[in-house]
Amino acid sequence: MTRIAYLGPAGTFTEQAARQFPVDGAEYVPVDSPASALAALAGGEVDYAVCAIENSVDGAVTATADALAATPGVQIMGETELAIAFAVMTQPGVALSRATRLATHPVAFQQVKQWVGVHAPDAQFVPAASNAAAAQMVADGQADIAVAPERAAELFGLTVHATGVADSETARTRFVLVGKQGALPAPTGADRTAVVLRTPNEPGALVGVLKEFAARGVDMSRIESRPTREEPNTYQFFVDLVGHAQDPDVADALRAVEDKASSVLFLGSWARA
Amino acid sequence: MTRIAYLGPAGTFTEQAARQFPVDGAEYVPVDSPASALAALAGGEVDYAVCAIENSVDGAVTATADALAATPGVQIMGETELAIAFAVMTQPGVALSRATRLATHPVAFQQVKQWVGVHAPDAQFVPAASNAAAAQMVADGQADIAVAPERAAELFGLTVHATGVADSETARTRFVLVGKQGALPAPTGADRTAVVLRTPNEPGALVGVLKEFAARGVDMSRIESRPTREEPNTYQFFVDLVGHAQDPDVADALRAVEDKASSVLFLGSWARA
């Protein structure tokens, strides 16, 4: 049995993403944060962890980035994408127009505010700890409407009034499948490589490192500076490269970067979704 | 009367930060998001907006970055820093050990989880829409304990049991004072300059731009790629520079960058906190 940790409870988008990876006979284990998912993986309690890594609207998922940088012995093996759109649900037989308490996670509420203003203008927002918890609140009678992933309606026996609800139609989230460090997935010709760099604390040091990619025509698809959390005002850089660490140009650039950066943490090479 | 918009309601950290800027006879206007604060500024309803821009633990505040990039005619004029630590409060005469429902914003809850585990292990987490709303919930009897900025206790007549509560002792948030576009604050010798860059979509384009800073010894203190929200997989880069746009090296680098980038949005030059 392959055990896969994900940000729970059951019914979250991360669970939905975890189920998109082709794993036979998997058991899905809900945990309470990306850091817990990776800790369970590093500790051998699960075989894989699935974590949200980037949202097309909100950018990097910082909790996952920090957890990847802080957990030794893990490696990204693959990715999948989900369109982030919500379902609106109530207990069976309840009309939306009569429902007054609308529960969802505060972040989700930001993403559906315009829709709610039009379709349930009188509903009062009741914050929930997660979208799945919002569905539970409706099931328990503590709220009338939940805004949650569609799967939550199934889990809690609720009626779905609308699906695909999202103020921004292009919101997509990318999730990664993280495994134990080991052999890289084979190059496919359409791959992504992620590294975390630290550079000497002097002007131009970062550019000196990034030049090694540019000089070889290796494109960066993303770069984020993040506090190291070790000392104030010290940063590490999360860089996504287009290509696989076994592609000659990428391999060559990574060797050159090893010499210039103060540290390079390799997070993996895998096929793009 | 100088009107200053901030992320409300009254009692938030942003209100506390807004009051740290030396403005005589200011009126503080609560709004519901960084975007609303900047919209009120652009629309002439207020004279300044105060927004959180970076947290030493969580990194960039993406809602503020995106709103700055999307609101024409505004400019950062100054900054201030706050140590992010919470107060724990109840109604007068209530013992912490007897309190069972603990209200706070889910993000704040993540920052005090360890403390709560030790000092109020039996308390059930009740999510609130903001930290200040949590204090309101305690005042109204819907929760027993609130975790909120200390000022909220004053506003809602609550008793403070502990202050300075934070699992990470170094958490600090930087807030910016944003005004209408106009004259730059004078250079102080310890300044920060922020720009938003877009580059042609080709390998090495970003490095080509950043090289102009490095060549002149201008240090970047921060860089973040953020989705443009206009087209999937297109990015803009938020770059903080050490120095003032009127410093000769910075001015010279910015002129060179104008030629190479597809667009450069200048967000301001101001004294570092």
ipTM of the complex: 0.70
Q: Which of A46, A35, A100 is nearest to A71 (CA)?
A: A35
- A197 interfacial to chain B (CB closer than 8 Å): no
**DSSP letters of A98-140?**
G--EEEE-HHHHHHHHHHHHHH-TTPEEEE-SSHHHHHHHHHT
Structural element, H or E, at residue B70: helix B62-70
Of A33, A210, A225, the CB nearest to B224: A225
pLDDT string in tens for chain B (273-residue length): 899 999 888 888 899 999 999 888 899 999 988 999 999 999 999 999 999 998 876 677 888 998 999 999 999 999 999 988 899 999 999 888 778 899 998 778 878 888 888 888 888 888 887 888 899 999 999 999 999 998 899 999 999 999 989 887 767 899 999 999 999 999 999 999 999 999 887 777 888 898 899 889 898 888 988 877 777 667 889 999 999 999 999 999 999 999 999 999 999 999 999
Rounded to an integer, the average pLDDT of A216-245 is 85
Rounded to an integer, the average pLDDT of A1-28 is 91
Going by C-beta distance under 8 Å and a sequence separation of 6 or more, which residues neighbour residue A7? A14, A15, A30, A31, A32, A33, A34, A37, A51, A52
Of A210, A227, A242, the CB nearest to B210: A210
Partners of residue B219 in chain A, C-beta under 8 Å: 202-204
User: Bridge-partner residues for A48, per DSSP?
Assistant: A4
Q: Do A217 and B204 touch (CB under 8 A)?
A: yes
Report the C-alpha gap between A223 and B144 in whole angstroms. Answer: 43
Report the C-alpha gap between B242 and B215 in whole angstroms. Answer: 14
Per-residue b or e along A57-69, where b marks 16 or more CB atoms closer than 10 Å to that residue's CB: bbbbbbbbbbbbb
Structural domains in chain A, sorted by start:
1-83+172-180 (3.40.190.10), 86-165 (3.40.190.10), 189-273 (3.30.70.260)
Q: Do A168 and B125 touch (CB under 8 A)?
A: no
- A114 interfacial to chain B (CB closer than 8 Å): no
- B197 interfacial to chain A (CB closer than 8 Å): no
Using one digit for the tens of pLDDT, what is the confidence trace for A32-91? 889 999 999 999 999 999 999 988 766 778 889 989 999 999 999 999 999 888 999 999
Taking a C-beta distance cutoff of 8 angstroms, is the pair A116, A132 a contact?
no
Report the C-alpha gap between B230 and B200 in whole angstroms. Answer: 15
Pair of tokens at residue B15: 């209100």
Partners of residue B237 in chain A, C-beta under 8 Å: 223
Q: Tell the residue number behind the tokens 């076994």, with chain if given.
A: A246
Rounded to an integer, the average pLDDT of A21-28 is 90
Partners of residue A128 in chain B, C-beta under 8 Å: 127
Give the start-end residues of each E strand in B199-271. Answer: 220-227, 235-242, 263-271
Q: Give the sign of the dihedral formed by CA A27, CA A28, CA A30, CA A34.
A: positive
Shortest Cα distance, chain A CAs vs residue B157, angstroms = 23
Report the C-alpha gap between B81 and B79 in whole angstroms. Answer: 7
Of B33, B129, B219, the CB nearest to A127: B129
